Structure formats: C-alpha cells, structure tokens
Amino acid sequence: MYGFEAMTFNIHGGYLEAIVRGHRSGLLTAADYNNLCQCETLDDIKMHLSATEYGPYLQNEPSPLHTTTIVEKCTQKLVDEYKHMLCQATEPLSTFLEYITYGHMIDNVVLIVTGTLHERDVQELLEKCHPLGMFDSIATLAVAQNMRELYRLVLVDTPLAPYFSECITSEDLDDINIEIMRNTLYKAYLEDFYKFCQKIGGATAEIMSDLLAFEADRRAVNITINSIGTELTRDDRRKLYSSFGLLYPYGHEELVVCEDIDQVRGVMEKYPPYQAIFAKISYGESQMLDKAFYEEEVKRLCLAFEQQFHYAVFFAYMRLREQEIRNLMWISECVAQNQKSRVHDSVVFIF
Amino acid sequence: MEESNLSIGNGGGGGEEEEIETLRFLDSLDGYVTLLHSLSSTLRQGWLELASARHSMGSSRVSSALLDLKVQSASTTCGVTDSVDGSPSGPHYTLLKWVSSKEGKCYSGEEGSTQLQKESSSSQLRRRGLSHISEGNEEASSAASDSHPTVDNIIQKQRTKSLSVFGALVSPKLRAAQGSFETALETIVELANLRSAVLSAHSRLQEDSADVVGTS
C-alpha cells in the first residue's frame, strides 16, 4: 500500500527526479525524426543533431562519419547522464540505478567470452563492450576455459555473482553453452531486479512490476522464436523463461511446444495486452514483431512519467534513451545504404 | 560490331552464321546486365537485413569482433574447370555450398545436388548415428526426423552452424540476411559463367568478322 511518498521522497530523491524529468524533455520528438528521415547523408544527420542535446558530442567528429560513430557518441551522452545521477544518488536509489546496468554487464561478459573462444584480441573486444556494463576485472574473462573458472576468477567479485549459481558447470564453453549462460544470467537478473523493486514497495513496485513483467514476456517470445529450428531442447527452452510475468506459468507451457511463428501467435493472442501487438503483423511473418514490441514498451515507459515520487522514471528514461539511440542507428544505416524508403520499418516515435 | 555489320552488308557466305553469333552475343550480354542488376538488388537487401538484425539483437551481438579467427575449412568453395580441348568456351565456375568439414561432402551446389540425393538415400543408416547430438525428445515427430535426417535438415544445420559465431539463438532477421548473401553468392558464380560466355561469344564474333574480312 502506498500513498505517503509525497511526504518523504523529495528528501533524497527530489533533486534526481527533477533532473531525470529534465532529461526526458530532451528526447527527440516526431518533428526531429521527420527531419532526420529526410537526410541524404550522415553529415546531414550530424547537422540536424547539432541542434539537439547530442550536438556537443558530435560537433568535433570529422567527416566522413560512420554509423558506429553516431551510435557511440549518443551512447556516451547517456553514460555521462547516468554517471551523474549515480554519483548523486543515495540508497536505495543508487542500487536501483546499478540494477539498470546489469543487463549490459551480462552482454559484455558474453561478448568477451565468445570473442575469446573465437581467438579475437581482448583489446578489440573491450572496445566493443557497452560502457554501462564495464567493470574492473572484465579483461580477465579472457583466461577462463569454463563457467566454473569464469565465476571463480572474475565474476565472484561482481554484482553478477549471485546469478551464476544456476549455471555453474565444468563444461567447456561453446556456442550453445554460452547462449544458455547468457539467457540464464539474464533470467536470474530480471527475477532479482523484480524482487528488489517489490521490496522497495509503493509506486516503484507497482510500475516496475509491469515494466519488468513485459520485459520477461518479450524475452520468452524472442527465445521461443529464435530457438525454432535449433538444437535447443524443450526442457532447455523452458528453463530460460523467467518465473514471473503475464505468461507465467501457463503461457510458458504453451510456448515451449511451439515450432513456428503462427503457433507462437496462437499462444500470445490469448492474452489481451499481446493480442494488440500480434494484430499488427501478418500471419507467418515475424519481421515487424520487434517494432510492435518496442512500440508497446515505449507506451508503457512514457506512462511511468505520469506518476511522481517513484524510481521507475529512472528506468523508463534509460530505456527511452536506448530506444532513441536504436532509432538513430536505424536512420543512419538507411541513409548510409541509400534505403530511405525503409527508414520507417524500425523507427519508433517516442512522443 | 562495325566489322560484323560490314560483313552482313556485303552479304558474305558466313552472314547467317554471323547473325546467329551476334544474336547469341547480345543475348548473353543482356542476361549479364540483368543478372548484375539482380545481384545489386540482392546485396542491398542483404545489407539492410544485416542492419535490421543488428538493430534487433544489439550491436554487441552482431559485430565483426565476433567472427571466428580459428583456422577452419571453408563451408563453401568455388571450383574452376578450364575449357577442354582448347575450345573457346572459357572456364566454368561451380559453387559447392555447405561442405561438411567432417566428411568433406558437399550438400548443395550445381554438381552436388544429384550426388547428394544418392548419398542421402544410401547413407541414412550412417546419418542415424548423428541422432545422439540432439538430446532425448519426447515428441514422436521430432524423434522421427532425427532418425531420418533429410538433405534439407543437414543443410539447415550447416547454415545454423555458420551463424553460431553470433550466438546459438539468433534473430530470424539474421537468418534472412544469410539467405540473401547466399543467393548473392550463387548469382556471382552465375555472373562469372555468363561473363565467360559473353567473352567467348565476342571472341567468336571477332574471329568470324576477321575471316570474312580476310576472304573478301
């Protein structure tokens, strides 16, 4: 039960909530996207972005620009804002903000391990890591031969340590084991984040439950679709689904046996929130499913700002910025490849 | 071309043959240009699908930093057969796709398809031994497909194996990009063969024109 946050929230969280709401007003609008979609070259995109909050980050980049440069600089802006908020935050907000980055940490761990398996240079891999997911001993991951060593040598001192209990084996790391490790870690992280938000309680618990449940359900659908036609068994697939969300547990039981996209549709259409998502795509087609999920996610994230005195605004802001960076990446790729007619395939307007 | 027109105008003895050669040359040239446009379109589609996969899966999952640098045999090779007996037909290119590194067998390609059908029917007992790779499956239909793998299943496994550098669970968009680049590879080999035909038709035309000019 909540209702008294108004009396105490601003003591520790008022400044940062004001900061994040200010950052939110700097998100690109539909007018900005319309201008960007009409650009002919990446330099035109840079020129249009110079009038936005990304201007200072791109102004010194020399021509010719690359799409990876635009994404890198926009991500740097997000990282700077996040670090400013983190250093100003007190408990439990600081822990909440750290939770937001654990997903990137998992991605970085898997990137280093996979790249090492493929005999890539560690420095090259570190440059590709997401800056929000960096930690001190990340480079040491390259020496581990199996998950037990990964845990013992490196990850035991990181926030991901508690998530490893479900996937520690002495099996050598190969592509399928790494994929199972990635999804098992992410499942444990989502469940832990969910419990943490429930412990905070109030509006944070209510709004974050909805957002994390949606994330868990979307991951279940993506795991199902991506594992169709692979060697992943049904038991392994079931183990990768989270233990919460609208689809838990009956939807998961039905998703486990799906062998094609139409069967997945049949399962998801039984749930009204997801019926609207699958209504946007035609039968047998899954290309537009990502965009449909992103649109639904953006709608829910924007609604988080309608209430005050909770931490979900920080999570929502980070996710909206990441969506914005994905939009900019897609627009840049379409412009660079001279495929402007396809630019609206994947751009999700936020406002 | 001007020499061939002159020889036609002169009504030389080989005029009809020359017309046939000219038409043959123009036909092959037209086919070459059409195929070139088709290749360009397929490659554009492939690159956009790759960007779409990167958008969907994330830049850290679809990145050149993940490509495997270990020494491994190529899953697809191109064979070149030189012209025999000095015939002016030029070299012939053959694409051998999805060669299994374990057995050195080709599972797809211009010359491999008929051989493949024979091999798959004769080696089903041998293939059944591969069923231990997939874990116990309660569904009868899946168990049946494991015990009787088809050619398509083997090719699909090879395709999945080549995509595994990006992870075991990849987006359908990445598979679509793989399909586009596979089609582009076939088109390139077809283009090479067609170019060889165009050049040989042109050289025959030039020889005929030279003969006509010489006799006249």
Contacts of B177 in chain A (CB under 8 A): none
For residue A43, the model assigns a pLDDT of 94
| Neighbouring-strand partners of residue B97 | B108
- Whether residues A333 and B69 touch (CB distance < 8 A) is answered with no
CB-CB contact of A153 with A143 (8 Å): yes
Q: Using H for helix, E for strand and C for coil, what is the string for B12-67?
A: CCCHHHHHHHHHHHHHHHHHHHHHHHHHHHHHHHHHHHHHHHHHHHCCCCCCHHHC
Residue B92 parent element (H or E): strand B92-99
Nearest to B186 by CA among B65, B89, B78, B37: B78
Nearest to A315 by CA among A72, A162, A95: A95
CA of A104 vs chain B CAs: smallest distance (Å): 10
Q: Among A109, A218, A230, A323, pick the best mutation site for testing chain B contact (most B Cβ within 10 A).
A: A230
CA distance A350 to A29: 7
- Whether residues B55 and A329 touch (CB distance < 8 A) is answered with yes
CB-CB contact of A138 with A153 (8 Å): no
- Whether residues B165 and A118 touch (CB distance < 8 A) is answered with yes
Q: How many Å is the maximal CA-CA distance in chain A?
A: 56
Contacts of A235 in chain B (CB under 8 A): 135
Which residues 233-262 of A have a C-beta within 8 angstroms of B? 233-235
CA distance A347 to A291: 8
Of B66, B156, B170, the CB nearest to A226: B170
CB-CB contact of B29 with B192 (8 Å): no
CA of B45 vs chain A CAs: smallest distance (Å): 9
B63 touches A at CB < 8 Å: yes
- Whether residues A229 and B61 touch (CB distance < 8 A) is answered with no
Q: Is the pLDDT of residue B56 over 80?
A: yes
Contacts of A108 in chain B (CB under 8 A): 60
Search chain A and give the residue with CA nearest B45.
A339
Q: How many H-runs (helices) and E-runs (strands) does chain B carry?
A: 7, 3
Nearest to B35 by CA among B191, B172, B154, B216: B191
A129 touches B at CB < 8 Å: yes
Of A125, A333, A346, the CB nearest to B65: A125
- Residue count (chain B): 216
CA of B75 vs chain A CAs: smallest distance (Å): 17
Report helix, strand and coil shares of chain A as percent, to nearest 5: 70, 0, 30
Q: Which two tokens stand for residue A107?
A: 């991605």
Contacts of A323 in chain B (CB under 8 A): none
CA distance A34 to A28: 10
CA of A225 vs chain B CAs: smallest distance (Å): 8
User: pTM here?
Assistant: 0.86
Q: Is the pLDDT of residue B156 over 70?
A: yes
- Residue count (chain A): 351
CA distance A51 to A28: 11
CB-CB contact of B166 with B174 (8 Å): yes
For residue A143, the model assigns a pLDDT of 85
For residue A166, the model assigns a pLDDT of 66
Q: Which two tokens stand for residue B87?
A: 């015939």
For residue B112, the model assigns a pLDDT of 43
A186 touches B at CB < 8 Å: no
Question: Which one-letter DSSP state was computed for residue A151?
Answer: I
pLDDT tens profile B69-95: 888 777 888 888 887 655 556 788 888
Contacts of A225 in chain B (CB under 8 A): 171-172
Nearest to B50 by CA among B173, B160, B166, B161: B173
Query: Where residue B106 falls among pLDDT bands split at 50, 70, 90?
Result: low
Q: Which two tokens stand for residue B90?
A: 């030029």
CA distance B156 to A22: 51
* pLDDT < 70 regions, chain A: 1-3, 166-168, 170
Of B60, B67, B165, the CB nearest to A130: B60
